[in-house]
Amino acid sequence: MLRYILLIIWLISLDTITKYWTENILSSTITLIPGFLSLEYAKNIWIAFSVPLTWWALKIVTVILIFGIFTYYWKQEKSKNSTLLDVSYSLIFAGAIWNAWERIFKGYVTDMISVEYFAIFNLADSYISLWALGIIYYYYRYNS
């Protein structure tokens, strides 16, 4: 269990460093792949995919989702003793907890990875996406 807590701390630290760099050092957009991928600073005041909710609803939904996912993991998934599930849930906890912290205490989440015509997101959002892929793979691989 300690290694997953350390993984969560490491992932949060990595996300924090990239957000600090974005807010304090990134002065203009950096194009990585022209017409597709760039780094740019954006304040996201909404939840996933910029779904608009009032500030209080957003914070309440965020806390309920994190608590619900943690409760589900602890009651249903933890007993399966799967490294893939444990790592996947470490990703969601790191991403969700840190984005929630920012949203609650700063009023926005710092985003910096821009995929043209799709979205702008951060590492924590990537962790959440990787969690989803890990869960899909686990259930496809072990329950089919």
What is this structure's pTM? Answer: 0.84
Q: If we measure between CA atoms, which residue out of 96, 97, 69 comes closest to residue 85? A: 69
Catalytic residues: 111, 125
Q: If we measure between CA atoms, which residue out of 65, 141, 143 comes closest to residue 104? A: 65
Q: Is the pLDDT of residue 53 over 90?
A: no
Q: Provide CB contacts within 8 A for 99, sequence distance 6+.
A: 62, 109, 122, 124, 125
For the record, the structure tokens of 72 come out as 């589900």
CA 63 to chain centre: 14
| Residue 66 one-letter amino acid | I
> Tokens 């602890």 belong to which residue?
74
How many domains are contained in the chain?
1
| 57 vs 41, higher pLDDT | 41
Query: Residue 133: which domain range?
Result: 2-142
The pLDDT-based confidence of 57 (bands split at 50, 70, 90) is confident
Strands across the sheet containing 30-33? 30-33, 37-44, 109-115, 119-121
The 10 Å Cβ neighbour count of residue 30 is: 12
Helical pair 83-106 and 2-24, crossing angle rounded to 10 deg: 40
Each residue of 3-30: pLDDT tens digit? Answer: 999 999 999 999 999 999 999 999 999 9
Each residue of 108-139: pLDDT tens digit? Answer: 999 999 999 998 999 999 999 999 999 999 99
